[in-house]
Amino acid sequence: MIKEIASIELPVHENLSIRKTHLAPFVDGGEHKRLSLVTGIHGDELDGQYIVYEVIRRVQEHPEYLAGEVDLYPAINPLGVDMAIRAIPMFDLDMNRIFPGSEKGVMAEYFAAALTGDLYGSDLVIDIHSSNIYVQELPQIRVNEQFEERVMEYARGMNTDIVWVYSSANALEATLAYTMNTLGVPAIVAEMGVGHRINRAECNQMLTGIFHVMQTMGIWTGPVEEVRTSLVTREGEVSVIRCENSGVFVSHRSGLGAVSQGELIGEIILPMEGRVIQEVRAPHDGFVFTLREHPVVYAGDLIARIHGGMYE
Amino acid sequence: MNKEIIYTLDGLYRDPFQVEGFRFGQGNRSACIVGASRGNEIQQMYICSQIVQALKRLEEQGDIVNENEILVIPCMNPYSMNVGKRFWPSDNQDLNRSFPGKADGEVVSRISHAVLERVKGYNYGMQFTSFYMPGDFIPHVRMMETGYQSASLANLFGTPYVLIRKPKPIDTFTLNYNWQLSGTNAFSIYAGGLEEIDENAAKQAVSSVLRFLTRMGIIRYRNHSGYIASVIHDEDLMSVQANLAGLWKGCKKPGDVVEYGEVLGQILDPYEGHVKGEIVSPTQGIVFFAHNDPLIMENTEIYRIIRRMHE
């Protein structure tokens, strides 16, 4: 069943709505859990579109296995998704920096408040993001250490390669996940792929995790696949490699994953001068879970994140 | 006047990105004035350019009081300015939401870090900035309630109003907030619009800065003493929102007095031109902010009114 969460009228004969698809068991067996899948807060992140579709398709194929509620919110920033723009188009405002919003606020804040209110009461919220167009991310779950105890069981069950527990000091308070957790609703953030693309294999990997978590919560009674053991990494175990000078990054890797100390990850070149200005090498053995995708870089741009080792 | 380069970043095919500063006088770090952090803050850059002009004249006349140094940074973000983009050209990050920044962080974080390190330690900091929604404010000085704010100091600018507002989580990444935490008395000044030069508002803004510098004994300058400001807080402002969408014909501007129940504007159907609805004032007061885009969507904040304020 498709339900409207909030709607506003646009200036020229059009309404803008955020909607959800509500899935519930045929037979109401009394108490049951509720999972909410949210995506499309950033308009350039599209993997969630396939994930939402596939969850609905699988549940519709076997409705008899559904023993709880699943709410799917495919486009929290519908104009952004439509226009392939990360932020809310008219305001150039990052929607994931305005939660919990305000019922009396302008469009973005009003939608944020409506979503926050609708998600309240969920037993788990999974906020599905892709990366942006600049870096590629291995499928991963991000957990704020402040809420680790509450959500770690779900995070580990999501079939991702990495669960990244990050420091509270770096948490952004106005994100959806932070807001829901502070309201007492367990929430995790899924990251994957790259902006403006759908990676079907990675989406299917994440879907295995979602159905596993649904089974753990008692929402799904059908068969599920085994999930992989996630590598749990923490702030001090992640080295962040940034470029030292502006140029063009050329990757020497065929993908993400294991890396050896000293291995060449890529080079930053100056095309007009025909020379390499920086060799980017792995500082230690580890696991590359973020890698530069967009080649043009300025000094300070992120090249890679590598799990492994211990850092200050 | 001494020109200095505060931060440089090599571009791939563009000239190096540079944040330039203009220093007047010498001695104690007395005052620092910062303009555009976004690429469309033309008015804010223009005001700073006019302050540079004024300070140049005053310095030549020997009217910068001994042992006082003033720094002006008209624009923190020339790369965005030159391509007509509000935020950072490549990844669209907001420089004024990246403070305090990190020396080894991402690009905008490095710029904000370098700027903050340079502007720290001044007694008084003034930033010309803008709002994310289209509209005009009544000229005012704004301070965040960090515990370090001083409304009585803000009063010395002689603008009609001083607004003290509670910071939201997102505000903690602004220059103003971090400047205050570093010990500088930091003020944000709202003067005129954004992408077009408003000469009258710019003149008022330049005067208010010179008035403040004079009153703090930093320069010798004689100008009108301005207003004794009304200090207002968030809760004194009433938001008026559109309950319909369409073409907006507002009939009030910042500074106008409105009465309870008075018509503030009309919303028209964009195709047929009939009046879909009228917006009436929910309070008596003075218009503090007025939306200025002819198209409005439902829920748009079209006015902010200082409640129960008489002229």
Kindly give the pairing relationship between strand A162-166 and strand A135-144.
parallel
Mean of pLDDT values over A95-116: 93
Q: How far apart are CA B243 and CA A8, in angstroms?
A: 9
Contact in structure between B82 and B65 (CB atoms under 8 Å): no
Residues on chain B touching A132 (C-beta within 8 angstroms)? 91
3-state secondary structure of A251: strand
Residues on chain B touching A167 (C-beta within 8 angstroms)? none
Please indicate whether, in this complex, the C-beta atoms of A296 and B90 are within 8 angstroms of each other: yes
Residues on chain A touching B241 (C-beta within 8 angstroms)? 104, 106
Is it the case that residue A28 has pLDDT exceeding 70?
no
CATH topology of domain A236-307: OB fold (Dihydrolipoamide Acetyltransferase, E2P) (2.40.50)
Give the length of chain B.
Answer: 311
- CB-nearest to B297 from A10, A97, A98 is A10
pLDDT, tens only, B178-227? 999 999 999 999 887 777 888 998 999 999 999 999 999 999 998 888 88
CATH 2.40.50.100 residue ranges in chain A?
236-307
Helices B199-215 and B42-60 cross at an angle (nearest 10°) of 50
Please indicate whether, in this complex, the C-beta atoms of B91 and A132 are within 8 angstroms of each other: yes
Q: B267 forms bridges with which residues in the sheet?
A: B248, B277
Residue A134 belongs to what H/E stretch? Answer: none
Residue B112 belongs to what H/E stretch? Answer: helix B107-119
Residues on chain A touching B86 (C-beta within 8 angstroms)? 92
Q: B146 forms bridges with which residues in the sheet?
A: none
Q: How far apart are CA B35 and CA A78, in angstroms?
A: 34
Q: Where are the alpha helices (DSSP H) in A62-194?
A: 78-83, 107-119, 148-156, 176-182
CATH class, domain B235-307, is mainly beta
- Which CATH architecture best describes the domain A2-229? 3-Layer(aba) Sandwich (3.40)
Q: How far apart are CA B140 and CA B148, in angstroms?
A: 19
Those residues with Cβ within 8 angstroms of residue A3's Cβ, 6 or more apart along the chain or in another chain = A19, A20, A21, A22
Q: How far apart are CA A43 and CA A91, in angstroms?
A: 13
CA A129 distance to own-chain centroid: 3
Q: Return the pLDDT at A312.
A: 38
Please indicate whether, in this complex, the C-beta atoms of A8 and B298 are within 8 angstroms of each other: yes
Those residues with Cβ within 8 angstroms of residue B185's Cβ, 6 or more apart along the chain or in another chain = B123, B124, B125, B148, B150, B153
pLDDT, tens only, A191-239? 999 999 999 999 999 999 999 999 999 999 999 999 999 999 987 899 9
Please indicate whether, in this complex, the C-beta atoms of B169 and A106 are within 8 angstroms of each other: no
Interface contact B238, partner A, CB < 8 A: no
A-B contacts (CB, under 8 Å) = 92
A→B contacts (Cβ < 8 Å), by residue, are 8-13, 16, 86-87, 90-93, 97-98, 104-107, 110, 132, 134, 172-174, 242, 245-248, 270, 296, 298-302
CATH 3.40.630.10 residue ranges in chain A?
2-229
What are the angstrom distances between the C-alpha of B183 and each of A8, A292, B105, B116, B118?
43, 38, 23, 12, 13
Interface contact B168, partner A, CB < 8 A: yes
The residue extents of the domains of chain B are: 2-228, 235-307
CATH superfamily of B2-228: Zn peptidases (3.40.630.10)
pLDDT, tens only, B9-21? 999 999 999 999 9
DSSP for residue A83: H
Those residues with Cβ within 8 angstroms of residue B307's Cβ, 6 or more apart along the chain or in another chain = B236, B237, B238, B283, B284, B285
pLDDT, tens only, A239-274? 999 999 999 999 999 989 999 999 999 999 999 999
